[in-house]
Amino acid sequence: MEQILTLAANNLLSPIILSFALGVAAALARSDLSVPEAAAKALSIYLLFAIGFKGGVSVSAHGIDAKLGLTLLAGVILSAALPMVAFGLLNVMTKLSRLDAAAVAAHYGSISIVTFVAATSVLESSGIAAEGYMVAVAAAMEAPAILSALWLISRGGDGRRMDSDLWREILLNGSIVLLVGAFFIGWATGEEGLAEISSFVVAPFKGVLCLFLLDMGLVAGRGLRGRSGALSPGVLAFGLLMPVVGSMFGLGAGLLLGLSTGGVALMMVLSASASYIAVPAAMRVALPEANPSIYLTLSLGVTFPFNLTLGIPLYVAFATALTGA
């Protein structure tokens, strides 16, 4: 318990979290501070490239693990199953329509790569190692949740939501391609490749993450300001409960697979986090009648800050305790 608190306090006082808080505060105070869209996208390209690349280098260094395949599979299953859990909870806790509930559920099966990145940076600071291929697991967990949600809807008699364009857009969305591509580049070039570009992908990483989270804070804060009315107390409670529930599924999977402490923690983080890029875009195409204010505010305005500030230290503490590290 004490360890959790220390970790949480350390986490809350890191420049990364404080930058996020600054963004939220600036947005709530209606400051005109803003990061240009192109710059925010460039920062995210940098983060995806760096995190994928470093994951690949780590795999090339430690050799390929027998558990890789199983872990990927577990990720896919979690991503597909968590929307069912979320949908059930939403039916109990809220009065959302079937459509809105399915759309929200899709977000919680999928993942937030920024939460993942923030968690790796916390692990690193704490000196806890993790399997390099967890970035590949992250990529594998992006899409299955969307299919689950559409299946939930089609069971309600409302079909024909997917076209082949949407398939391609989901499976080959920019983040997945960049993350996986950089992972393979890191794997192929290994330590030697890392040596060449480490003063780009390693040294400034945390600083870039600060600026990126500043922008995320601005975006989340604006969403909260403009749309918080869209959330009933039940929906809000779901946004805080679901990540914890999800993380428990991730914990179970991680322990079953026998992952390292860091691996278990990241599996929890992936299960706990909710998408706010890939899934919203897919929902706008496939379920345009679902209300974006609900799923965006919930995912980015509630669950993301929760995971970033309290969730990550909690998951890391659990993983540490239960893997006996």
Partner 1 sequence: MQTHQAKRVEITIEAIMQSRLSEALIKAGVTGFTVLPVLGGSGRSGAWVRAGEIGRASGMVQVICIVRAENVDKLIEAAFSVVERHIGVVSIVDCEVLRAERF
Residues that bind partner 1 (CB under 8 A): 34, 36-37, 40-41, 165, 218-220, 222-223, 226-227, 276-277, 280-281, 284-285, 288-289, 292-293, 296-297, 299-301
> Amino acid identity of 87?
F
Binds 296, which of Na ion, a second copy, partner 1, none (CB < 5 to 8 A, cut-off by type)?
Answer: partner 1
Q: Residue 74's closest CA among 138, 161, 123, 14?
A: 138
DSSP annotation of 228 reads G
Binding segment for a second copy among 93-101, 178-186, 263-271, 286-294 (CB under 8 A)? 178-186
Nearer to a second copy, 153 or 219 (CB): 219
Q: Are 16 and 206 in contact (CB under 8 A)?
A: yes
Q: Residue 37's closest CA among 164, 218, 158?
A: 218
DSSP annotation of 188 reads H
Shortest distance (Å) from residue 284 CB to a second copy: 14
Q: Find the binder of a second copy among 5, 9, 61, 188 (CB under 8 A).
A: 188
* Separation CA 155–CA 153 (nearest Å): 5
Binds 182, which of Na ion, a second copy, partner 1, none (CB < 5 to 8 A, cut-off by type)?
Answer: a second copy
25-58: string of b/e by CB count within 10 Å (b at 16+)? ebbeeeeebebeeeebeebbebbbbbbbbbbbbb
Of 109-138, binders to a second copy (CB under 8 A) are 125
* Separation CA 80–CA 77 (nearest Å): 5
- For residue 90, the number of C-alpha atoms closer than 13 Å in the C-beta half-sphere is 27
Shortest distance (Å) from residue 245 CB to Na ion: 10
* Separation CA 235–CA 240 (nearest Å): 9
> Both ends of the chain: CA-CA distance in Å?
15
Of 2-21, binders to a second copy (CB under 8 A) are 13-15, 18-19
168 is a contact residue toward a second copy (CB under 8 A):
yes
Nearer to Na ion, 83 or 193 (CB): 83
- For residue 23, the number of C-alpha atoms closer than 13 Å in the C-beta half-sphere is 26
Binding segment for Na ion among 109-117, 207-215, 221-229, 309-317 (CB under 5 A)? 109-117
Contact string 25-54 vs a second copy (x = CB under 8 A) = xx--xxxxxxxxxxx-xx--xx--x---x-
Binding segment for a second copy among 102-110, 154-162, 203-211, 303-311 (CB under 8 A)? 203-211
Q: Name the residues that contact a second copy, by CB under 8 A.
A: 13-15, 18-19, 22, 25-26, 29-39, 41-42, 45-46, 49, 53, 125, 168-169, 172-174, 177-178, 181-182, 184-186, 188-189, 193, 196-197, 199-201, 203-208, 210-211, 214
